[in-house]
């Protein structure tokens, strides 16, 4: 730790970090464009100037390129600094096109925010601005507007140091400089949309989000990406406004949330698109299929049918969930099967095959909670259950978030065996092969419509939060279990209070022992026995 | 006065190694190889030799900054990227006496412990580069470059590197970036090249003329060098005089020489019918002098600093009474806008904006308030010299915060001339603005209204 004096106040800061980071961490805002916590320092925007005492008097330095040193004396509030900051800001605006009304970045644009802070509404520029190319699609997901670019080079540093794919460079010189790919090439890596995130202005924009929604209509909810076992921390952004409130709840995008231990500031391109399942292909209402085509029914009837099937099975019931379920779902599902359905036969195996992996973010295991499943064993295997169905020892199957029919190599064979069941009760959010085969289909919420926790591949427990109640007629899984239990006149212990549920979990799962919900917070915490593992 | 740099100029076939050796060439090298390297550094330090590229930093002192304990090889780079408008001395050194430069390099490398030197030559100097290549081949054949030269146990290799046409590659870290194969974009200092330079190794960057003084200093001793020039600016310098004078040329004179004598004696005075309007003393980046100031100016670092300008590269440009200062400044600003590397915001955007405003003023489209605007823009770009050089006396108001507003001093090199011209010749700008004609024709300047696709370079 080092002690520095900022504006006559002594503060303790971490040694060796850039002065800018130390100031930001201490709550002293210093405007900046090119600095990014997870990228190497470039020092080209010159916006982060602060005054430092030197033997020759006070001198301006850029705080991003100045490592903190014990005893530094710094000022961020003098008139000279103000003038210097205004100067740089004015320069940034000289050739910047006034695209705000049509630019996606409006509302989350660093330049816009800065110039509003400084009241730069009257421009002194009375010369023609430099014109460059405006709609260059330089990648499948990335659109470039060279005029809006402030040449902070964050995108280049990302491609050089994080994705290490080196697709971007600056062409030209002086104020005719422009960002470009090498001639004939595109941005072609699995993390390209991160360049859109790091771009402080609307030069790089996401083609998937282009022109779709103004960002001030979006509500942000902390979530965990469920695309693989890394569990990147993400922010789920959905419509939330009283104009066009029929759109409320519609998902527009997933953006990464910074977590230095898990994903830094990054997310893969694939994972970002997972927001689409909140909007598309949803099961809107319960369905019943009594040997004929499934028909939409009211929940009362759906619960009735399901309860009938369960009591009729007389214990010959099994459950299948998956590592796509949260810890809480796994826990409550097992309790439901044990105490309400009277069965101990349960599997959490998924047939999804491992996929692409690299040493940046993507993991081969494409489930968010495989470790969570491991912690809450013992489980039967999927094959044991199918054998049981085949041998008619299992008459009713309750499936929670597992599309085994769609994922299996021998789907039709499995389907034939399932025909022997009296009832196939499926609880899921999106249509799938399995949901189509259901005799009773109970819709529930997607990842964005439930709160819970996952354990990622290195044993980190991370929380996901709910953006809103499940859309359309879907209900939370807790609601489903509780109501079914009530119909079957069995007690079912659970709660909508996350802390109480977690406490319950922590008492039963040894890897969660002694960990309070508050400890997990927004950045997660390592499970018991995993504390010495370091992030890879 | 003995000639230090230009002693062999004018001889027939002066580039040839045989002619060079006939006149004592490479004897100093032989002598140096028997000295202690630290003794050579001391001699150069005591001579007070200062960098002749423009900054005037004491050369021997710069050599002592090298990090000799890093475990990495030490590199030596000679800055032959002579691009400062008004300067043409290094070109003539390479034209007439490339072996002097080579001998200076080898002695200097021996002194600092460097085994690989680079001469970064601007790309437009095709002929000079050829001369240097030939000289290196001759020196290799004679055993002055290579392994164990003259049986001393010292290895030295010299690479002549060709630039690709950028003024900013004359900035030492820009030069290093370009030499490494990247865009010639300056780097943030600290770390300084003496600690982390070429390929992150300790590096010395010196100007051609500076290194050419080293053989004479070692041969004749530091005291002989300090006997010339002034106390804090010892030795001689090659000044270039251009403009409407009778004898535009380069001249080697002692530092401290009166500027008016340089113009009237060596350069033959102004041509008939031409009067002196102004004079740029040290390359286009330096504040301009009025005729009264020219009459008093002495060509050494301190005297010119006290007058609020700089000796710089010694490129003296004489401005005749027929020249419009507004046009002159417009031309200059266009050059800087074209050459800005574009990395940092104030210089990139500021140089372009300033150039366009001046184009407007010169074309009769100036507006009231343009002069104040230009001053403000320059204040926001400038800062490197604020606390580390004497305050320019012609700036009457407080210029705010000094320090690193930009990555390198290029922006100051634009701001100094712009502000000095605006202050000392304000009446010309005021007149141009007062006579503005809003429907004036667009001047035929390349960066005005040219489509972006054509402008790329």
Structural domain ending residue among the three candidates B304, B320, B336 = B320
> B207 - beta bridge partners?
B79
Is B41 inside a domain boundary?
Answer: yes
Question: A231 falls in which pLDDT band (50, 70, 90)?
Answer: very high
Which residue do the tokens 């001053």 mark?
Answer: B375
Q: Which structure tokens are listed for A114?
A: 């800065």
**What's the average model confidence in pLDDT over B70-85?**
95
Spell out the residues 6+ positions from residue B346 whose beta carbon is closer than 8 angstroms to its own.
A46, A87, A88, A91, B380, B381, B405, B406, B411
Residues of A in contact with B384 (CB under 8 A): none
Report pLDDT for A94.
93
B396 with B305, same domain: the answer is no
Which residue do the tokens 């004179």 mark?
Answer: B253
Residues of A in contact with B407 (CB under 8 A): 43-44, 46
Residue in chain A nearest B338 by alpha carbon: A174
B409 with B387, same domain: the answer is yes
Is B204 inside a domain boundary?
Answer: yes
Predicted ipTM beyond 0.85: yes
Report how far residue A336's alpha carbon sits from residue A319's, in angstroms, rounded to the nearest whole number. 10
Q: CB distance A124–B344 less than 8 Å?
A: no
Residue (of B415, B454, B83) closest to A176 by Cα position? B454
Q: Which structure tokens are listed for A307?
A: 């309860």
Residue B248: which CATH number? 3.10.20.600
Spell out the residues 6+ positions from residue B326 whose beta carbon is closer than 8 angstroms to its own.
B358, B361, B362, B428, B429, B432
Residue B190: which CATH number? 3.40.50.11540
pTM exceeds 0.90: yes
Is B3 inside a domain boundary?
Answer: no
Contact A464, A378 (CB under 8 A): no
The answer, yes or no, to whether residue A19 has pLDDT greater than 60, is: yes
Question: B389 falls in which pLDDT band (50, 70, 90)?
Answer: very low
Spell out the residues 6+ positions from residue B254 whose beta carbon is closer than 8 angstroms to its own.
B1, B228, B229, B235, B236, B237
Q: CB distance B407–A43 less than 8 Å?
A: yes
Is B10 inside a domain boundary?
Answer: no
Report how far residue A447's alpha carbon sits from residue A235's, in angstroms, rounded to the nearest whole number. 12
B177 with B105, same domain: the answer is yes
Is B4 inside a domain boundary?
Answer: no
Express each pLDDT in B190-238 by its tens digit: 899 999 999 999 999 999 999 999 999 999 999 999 999 999 999 999 9
CATH architecture under which domain A2-92 falls: Roll (3.10)
- In B243-374, the DSSP E strands lie at 249-254, 257-258, 276-280, 298-299, 315-320
Is B7 inside a domain boundary?
Answer: no
Residue B347: which CATH number? 1.20.1440.230
Question: A239 falls in which pLDDT band (50, 70, 90)?
Answer: very high
CATH architecture under which domain A95-206 falls: 2-Layer Sandwich (3.30)
Q: Supply φ then ψ for residue A529, to 5 degrees.
A: 95, -10
Report pLDDT for B446.
44
Residues of A in contact with B166 (CB under 8 A): 173
Q: Supply φ then ψ for residue A135, to 5 degrees.
A: -135, 80
CA distance A154 to chain B (A): 12
* Number of domains chain B is built from: 3
Express each pLDDT in B262-298 by its tens digit: 999 999 999 999 999 999 999 999 999 999 999 999 9
Angle, CA A104 vertex, CA A100 and CA A107 arms, to 5°: 70
Report pLDDT for B455.
44
B40 with B130, same domain: the answer is yes
Report how far residue B410's alpha carbon sits from residue B405's, in angstroms, rounded to the nearest whole number. 11
> A443 - beta bridge partners?
A428
Cα–Cα distances in Å, from B218 out to A155, B32, B35, B109, B155? 52, 7, 10, 14, 20
Structural domain ending residue among the three candidates B160, B191, B226 = B226
**What's the average model confidence in pLDDT over B401-429?**
90
**What's the average model confidence in pLDDT over B335-362?**
94
Is B34 inside a domain boundary?
Answer: yes
Cα–Cα distances in Å, from A103 out to A136, A228, A350? 14, 32, 43
Q: Which structure tokens are listed for A352?
A: 């999804």
B402 in reach of chain A (CB within 8 A): yes
Nearest to B402 among A46, A60, A170 (CB): A60
Question: Could you tell me the residue ranges of all domains in chain A?
Answer: 2-92, 95-206, 287-449+467-499
Express each pLDDT in A283-338 by its tens digit: 999 999 866 667 889 999 999 999 999 999 988 999 999 999 999 999 999 999 99
B149 with B279, same domain: the answer is no
Q: CB distance B401–A174 less than 8 Å?
A: no
CA distance A503 to chain B (A): 53
B149 with B248, same domain: the answer is no
Q: Supply φ then ψ for residue A436, to 5 degrees.
A: -70, -25
Express each pLDDT in A28-66 by its tens digit: 999 999 999 999 999 999 999 999 988 877 888 999 999
DSSP state of A368: S
- In A330-435, the DSSP E strands lie at 346-347, 396-400, 423-428
B280 with B205, same domain: the answer is no
Q: CB distance B401–A60 less than 8 Å?
A: yes
CA distance B194 to chain A (A): 19
Q: CB distance A177–B348 less than 8 Å?
A: yes
CA distance B357 to chain A (A): 7
Express each pLDDT in A387-432 by its tens digit: 999 999 999 999 999 999 999 998 889 999 999 999 999 999 999 9
Is B44 inside a domain boundary?
Answer: yes
| 3-state SS track over A89-148 | HHHHHHCCCCCHHHCCCCCCCHHHHHHHHCCCCCCCCCCCCCCCCCCEECECCEEECCCC
B158 with B192, same domain: the answer is yes
Q: CB distance A56–B400 less than 8 Å?
A: no
Residues of A in contact with B400 (CB under 8 A): 79-80, 83-84
> A144 - beta bridge partners?
A136, A204
> B156 - beta bridge partners?
B146
B207 with B258, same domain: the answer is no
Range of B194's domain? 17-226
Q: Which structure tokens are listed for B420?
A: 């000095």
B253 with B187, same domain: the answer is no
Contact B278, B286 (CB under 8 A): no
Q: Which structure tokens are listed for A391?
A: 């041998």
Which B residues 411-450 touch A at CB under 8 Å?
A: 448-449
Q: Supply φ then ψ for residue B156, to 5 degrees.
A: -150, 135
Domain covering A287-449+467-499, topology = Rossmann fold (3.40.50)
The answer, yes or no, to whether residue B306 has pLDDT greater than 80, is: yes
Q: CB distance B401–A170 less than 8 Å?
A: no
Cα–Cα distances in Å, from B95 out to A401, B129, B137, B206? 81, 9, 16, 19
B138 with B190, same domain: the answer is yes
Cα–Cα distances in Å, from A236 out to A276, A277, A405, A466, B339? 11, 12, 29, 9, 46
């Amino acid at each position: 730790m080092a002690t520095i004096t900022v504006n006559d106040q002594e503060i303790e800061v971490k040694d060796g970090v850039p002065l800018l980071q130390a100031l930001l961490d201490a709550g002293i805002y210093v405007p900046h464009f090119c600095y990014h916590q997870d990228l190497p320092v470039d020092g080209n925007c010159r916006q982060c100037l602060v005054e430092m005492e030197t033997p020759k008097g006070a001198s301006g330095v850029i705080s991003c390129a100045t490592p903190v040193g014990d005893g530094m004396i710094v000022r961020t509030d003098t008139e000279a600094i103000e003038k210097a900051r205004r100067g740089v800001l004015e320069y940034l605006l000289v050739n910047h096109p006034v695209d705000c009304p049509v630019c996606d970045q409006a509302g989350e644009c660093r330049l816009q925010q800065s110039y509003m802070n400084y009241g730069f509404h009257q421009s002194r520029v009375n010369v023609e601005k430099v014109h460059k190319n405006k709609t260059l699609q330089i990648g499948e997901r990335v659109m470039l507007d060279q005029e809006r670019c402030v040449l902070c080079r964050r995108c280049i540093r990302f491609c050089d140091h994080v994705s290490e794919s080196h697709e971007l460079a600056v062409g030209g010189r002086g104020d005719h400089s422009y960002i470009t790919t090498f001639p004939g090439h595109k941005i072609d890596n699995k993390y390209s949309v991160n360049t859109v995130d790091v771009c402080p202005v609307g030069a790089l924009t996401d083609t998937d989000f282009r022109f779709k929604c103004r960002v001030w209509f979006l509500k942000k909810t902390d979530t965990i990406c469920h695309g693989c076992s890394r569990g990147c921390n993400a922010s789920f952004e959905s419509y939330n406004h009283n104009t066009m409130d029929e759109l409320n709840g519609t998902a527009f995008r997933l953006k990464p949330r910074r977590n230095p231990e898990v994903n830094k500031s990054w997310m893969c391109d694939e994972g970002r698109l997972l927001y689409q399942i909140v909007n598309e292909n949803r099961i809107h209402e319960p369905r019943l299929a009594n040997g004929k085509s499934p028909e939409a029914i009211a929940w009362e009837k759906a619960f009735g049918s399901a309860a009938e099937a369960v009591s009729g099975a007389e214990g010959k019931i099994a459950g299948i969930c998956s590592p796509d379920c949260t810890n809480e779902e796994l826990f409550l599902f097992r309790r439901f099967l044990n105490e309400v359905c009277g069965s101990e036969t349960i599997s959490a195996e998924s047939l999804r095959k491992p996929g692409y992996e690299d040493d940046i973010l993507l993991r081969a295991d494409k489930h968010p909670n495989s470790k969570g499943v491991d912690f809450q064993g013992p489980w039967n295997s999927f094959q044991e259950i199918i054998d049981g169905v085949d041998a008619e020892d299992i008459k009713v199957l309750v499936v929670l978030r597992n599309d085994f029919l769609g994922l299996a190599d021998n789907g039709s064979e499995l389907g034939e065996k399932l025909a022997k069941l009296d009832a196939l009760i499926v609880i899921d959010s999106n249509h799938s092969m399995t949901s189509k085969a259901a005799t009773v289909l109970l819709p529930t919420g997607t990842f964005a419509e439930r709160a819970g926790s996952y354990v990622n591949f290195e044993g980190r427990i991370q929380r996901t939060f709910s953006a809103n109640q499940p859309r359309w007629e879907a209900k939370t899984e807790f609601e489903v279990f509780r109501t079914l239990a009530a119909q079957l006149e069995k007690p079912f212990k659970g709660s909508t209070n996350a802390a109480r549920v977690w406490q319950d979990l922590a008492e039963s799962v040894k890897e969660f022992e002694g960990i309070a919900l508050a400890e997990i917070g927004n950045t997660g915490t390592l499970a018991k026995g995993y504390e010495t593992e370091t992030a890879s | 006065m003995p000639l230090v740099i230009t002693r062999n100029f004018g001889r027939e076939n002066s580039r040839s190694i045989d002619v060079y050796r006939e006149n004592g060439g490479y004897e100093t090298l032989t002598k140096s190889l028997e000295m202690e390297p630290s003794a050579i550094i001391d001699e150069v330090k005591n001579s007070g030799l200062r960098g002749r590229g423009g900054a005037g930093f004491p050369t021997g002192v710069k050599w002592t900054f090298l990090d000799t304990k890093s475990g990495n090889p030490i590199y030596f780079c000679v800055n032959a990227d002579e691009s400062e408008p008004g300067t043409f001395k290094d070109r003539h050194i390479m034209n007439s006496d490339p072996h002097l430069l080579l001998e200076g390099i080898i002695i200097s490398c021996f002194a600092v412990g460097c085994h690989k030197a680079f001469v970064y030559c601007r790309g437009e100097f095709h002929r000079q580069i050829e001369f240097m290549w030939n000289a290196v081949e001759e020196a290799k054949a004679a055993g002055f470059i290579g392994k164990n030269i003259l049986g001393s146990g010292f290895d030295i290799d010299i690479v002549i590197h060709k630039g690709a046409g950028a003024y900013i590659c004359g900035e030492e870290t820009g030069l290093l970036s370009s030499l490494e194969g990247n865009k010639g974009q300056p780097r943030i200092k600290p770390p300084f090249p003496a600690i982390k330079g070429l390929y992150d190794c300790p590096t010395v960057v010196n100007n051609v003329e500076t290194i050419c003084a080293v053989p004479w200093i070692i041969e004749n001793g530091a005291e002989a060098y300090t006997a010339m020039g002034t106390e804090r600016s010892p030795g001689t310098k090659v000044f270039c005089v251009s403009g409407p004078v009778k004898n535009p040329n380069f001249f080697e004179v002692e530092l401290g020489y009166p500027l008016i004598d340089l113009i009237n004696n060596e350069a033959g005075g102004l041509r008939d019918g031409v009067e002196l309007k102004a004079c740029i003393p040290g390359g286009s980046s330096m504040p301009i002098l009025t005729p009264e100031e020219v009459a008093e100016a002495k060509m050494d670092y301190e005297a010119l600093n006290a007058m609020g300008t700089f000796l710089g590269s010694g490129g003296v440009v004489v401005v005749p009474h027929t020249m419009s200062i507004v046009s002159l400044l417009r031309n200059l600003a266009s050059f800087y806008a074209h050459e800005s590397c574009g990395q940092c915001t104030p210089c990139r955007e500021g140089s372009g904006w300033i150039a366009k405003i001046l184009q407007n003023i010169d074309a009769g489209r100036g507006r009231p308030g343009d002069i104040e605007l230009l001053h403000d823009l320059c204040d926001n770009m400038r800062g490197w010299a604020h606390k580390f050089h004497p305050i320019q006396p012609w700036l009457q108001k407080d210029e705010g915060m000094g320090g690193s507003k930009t990555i390198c001093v290029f922006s100051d090199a634009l701001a100094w001339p712009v502000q000095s011209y605006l202050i000392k010749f304000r009446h010309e700008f005021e007149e141009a603005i007062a006579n503005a004609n809003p429907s004036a024709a667009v001047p035929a300047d390349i960066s005005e209204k040219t489509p972006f696709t054509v402008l790329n370079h």
